[in-house]
Amino acid sequence: MFHFDIYDALLLAGIIGISVLLARHRHYKRKDRGVRMRAWAVKQGLTWSPVKDNRIAESFSFFCFQRGPNRFAENICRGRWNDRDIVALDYHNPASRKNQIQPNAFSALILCSAHPLQRLLLRPEELGDKLAAFAGLEDINFESAEFSRNYFVGALDRRWAYEVLHAKSIDWLLTHPGYSIEFDDTAAIIYRDGLFEPEDFQKAFDVLAGLLDMIPDYVKQQQALTSSTAME
């Protein structure tokens, strides 16, 4: 027969109390995050939304938005920033686990591209455990042994990867390590494990914008011609 005494009651009360305190801590932490993100957005001339968006994957086809049934974005900031159309956000994936590729929560910055792109995925090698199986992409190696050792790179078109990641852009990425970057057809995203502080979005912007600006003009023109031909 189950015996429930005063000690069990105190233990249960303690567990409930700790759970309540943790829940309150998470609530106030997220509320404070929203306040700081809103203040940053207003300062940068961007709009800010407190509404959770669980359909972000329908707007962009990035791999990082494709994991977990309860994924959602929040603190979404949109607008024209540094002469580019951008989206900054916090992304939550409650279904993520440590043995999966995507972190449980991270910040991301999306830059809309003025020219067509192709799918490309690069991220620090130490974060890419079993990445090829997840993304359906084979790891592409480059002449730079340091870059190949530190980054997983996947693309449906290997030639596109080599044209985008030439010697200058590889040096740029090695100088600014720790970020994951993806291209879809019309935009590029940069993120890393964990949430950015609001001021960190500027550095992430500089890294991603710098990489996009290093795509050679002939590659942009060639991709624009390919994209227009495909739509006919």
Q: Where are the domains of the chain?
A: 45-231
- Please give the pLDDT value at position 39: 96
Largest CA distance in the chain: 80
Q: How confident is the model at residue 16 (pLDDT cuts 50, 70, 90)?
A: low
Cα–Cα–Cα angle for 44, 75, 116, nearest 5°?
70
Q: Which of 44, 139, 54 is CA-nearest to residue 91?
A: 54
Find the mean pLDDT for residues 215-225.
91
| pLDDT at residue 22 is higher than 50 | no
pLDDT tens digits along 53-101: 988 888 888 988 866 677 899 999 999 999 999 999 999 887 655 444 4
Distance CA 11, CA 51 (A): 38
- Please give the pLDDT value at position 119: 93
- Please give the pLDDT value at position 231: 56
Average pLDDT, the chain: 83
Better pLDDT: 171 or 132: 171
- Please give the pLDDT value at position 224: 87
- Please give the pLDDT value at position 54: 87
- Please give the pLDDT value at position 133: 45
| pLDDT at residue 47 is higher than 60 | yes
| pLDDT at residue 227 is higher than 50 | yes
| pLDDT at residue 129 is higher than 50 | no
Question: Could you count the other beta carbons within 10 Å of the beta carbon of residue 5?
Answer: 7
State residue 112 phi and psi, 5-degree precision: -75, 135
pLDDT tens digits along 139-192: 888 999 999 989 989 898 999 999 999 999 999 999 999 999 999 999 999 999
